[in-house]
């Protein structure tokens, strides 16, 4: 197993790695809308927070020389499913077909009061 870290994504706020690679698969820990430099929460609405989460994911991808097209599966955690349409539109703006598989669930709460968290499984070519 190889641990992946990038200054373009927030440092872990607990006992976990930003990402771990096993063979051709990389498992990204859930990303919330934290600014990688300040560690502060970005935005108070779903679109702004989703943009920051996707930028954090992009930072981890770039640390591996990868792109969004390498994502094969995401799991999305929303604090409120009423945000789904705005989230989905923003999320989709970062991706192109063929899209990754995805699960989306509503949760009671997320770390630091985030509205969205996304974890990924990525394939290295």
pLDDT at residue 53, rounded to an integer: 98
Torsion of CA 80, 9, 62, 86, to 10 degrees: 20
The whole-number average pLDDT for the span 85-96 is 98
Q: Which has the closest alpha carbon to 79: 52, 44, 55, 51? A: 44
Contacts of 105 (CB under 8 A, 6+ apart): 75, 76, 77, 78
- Check whether the bond before 66 is cis (ω within 30° of 0): no
For residue 93, pLDDT over 90 is answered with: yes
What pTM does this model have?
0.96
The string of pLDDT tens digits covering residues 51-87 is 999 999 999 999 999 999 999 999 999 999 999 999 9
- For 61, the token pair is 């991808």
Q: What is the pLDDT of residues 9-47, one digit of tens each?
A: 999 888 999 999 999 999 999 999 999 999 999 999 999
Is 28 in a helix, a strand, or coil? strand
Place of tokens 């096993």: 22
Q: What pLDDT does residue 14 have?
A: 87
């Amino acid at each position: 197993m190889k641990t992946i870290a990038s200054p373009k994504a927030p440092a872990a706020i607990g006992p976990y790695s930003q990402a771990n690679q096993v063979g051709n698969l990389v498992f990204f820990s859930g990303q919330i809308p934290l600014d990688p430099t300040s560690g502060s929460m970005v935005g108070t609405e779903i679109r702004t927070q989703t943009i920051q989460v996707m930028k954090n994911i992009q930072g981890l991808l770039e640390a591996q020389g990868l792109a969004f097209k390498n994502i094969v599966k995401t799991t999305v955690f929303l604090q409120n499913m009423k945000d789904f349409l705005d989230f989905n539109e923003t999320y989709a703006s970062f991706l192109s077909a063929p899209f990754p598989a995805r699960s989306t669930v509503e949760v009671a709460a997320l770390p630091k009061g985030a509205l969205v968290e996304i974890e990924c499984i990525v394939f290295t070519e």
